């Protein structure tokens, strides 16, 4: 058993499910039908958890590289830009989901819809950036 590969694979499992949670949660709140406020709130918890998992598992990727190779992954150019985009999306998405959970009770339906669209946009952007990070690393 290669423990190093096992650790990377398990972190990747968490990272993949986190990505599914943020993108899927935002999409389901909007399509195929608008969800009632109570369901939207539960989806906001799912999405907040998803962003948290992305940040933590992304950090563990870096920490594992440091532990196993004594340095962070050697990436340049497009890969760095893609990673920065993912980090910005994760931070903005986390703050938006937290704001939603704290404030959305006072928002009207249009404001909630805008928040979900922005969440979906951040998730889709991060997911797109992941492909560039993968293939330009
Ligand atoms: C703090 C934020 C994040 C960090 C530090 C991070 C870091 C990483 C790293 C190091 C990898 C492995 C890259 C490789 O195999 O070469 C990865 C893969 C991946 N990340 Fe992230 N990530 C973050 C956020 C996100 C977000 C927000 C999403 C999507 C919503 C995401 C989706 C993915 C996917 C789908 C992969 C697998 C790509 C593939 O192998 O094809 N990541 N991430």
- In CATH, the number for domain 3-135 is 1.20.120
Mutate to test the pocket of ligand 1, among 10, 21, 54, 128 (most ligand atoms within 8 A of CB): 54
53-58-59-61 Cα dihedral, nearest 10 degrees:
130
Please state, in angstroms and rounded to a whole number, the distance separating the CA atoms of residues 127 and 133: 10
Q: What one-character DSSP code corresponds to residue 73?
A: -
Instruction: Check pocket membership of 8 for ligand 1, CB cut-off 6 A.
Output: no
Domain ranges of the chain: 3-135
Query: If you average pLDDT over residues 10-29, what whole number do you get?
Result: 98
Q: Is the C-beta atom of 136 inside 6 A of ligand 1?
A: no
Q: What is the pTM of this model?
A: 0.94
Question: What is the reported pLDDT for 111?
Answer: 96
The residues, any chain, with a CB within 8 Å of residue 6's CB and separated by 6 or more, are none
pLDDT per residue over 52-107, tens digit each? 999 999 999 999 999 998 888 889 999 999 999 999 999 999 999 999 999 999 99
């Amino acid at each position: 058993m290669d423990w190093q590969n096992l650790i990377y694979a398990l972190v990747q499992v968490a990272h993949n499910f986190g990505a599914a949670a943020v993108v899927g949660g935002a999409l389901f709140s909007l399509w195929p039908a608008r969800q009632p406020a109570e369901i939207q709130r539960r989806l906001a918890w799912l999405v907040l958890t998803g962003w948290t998992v992305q940040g933590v598992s992304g950090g563990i990727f870096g920490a594992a590289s440091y532990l196993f190779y004594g340095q962070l992954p050697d990436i340049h150019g497009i890969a760095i830009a893609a990673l920065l985009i993912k980090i910005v999306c994760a931070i903005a998405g986390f703050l938006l989901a937290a704001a939603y959970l704290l404030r959305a009770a006072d928002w009207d339906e249009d404001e909630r819809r805008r928040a979900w669209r922005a969440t979906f946009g951040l998730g889709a952007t991060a997911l797109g950036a992941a492909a560039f990070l993968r293939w330009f690393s």
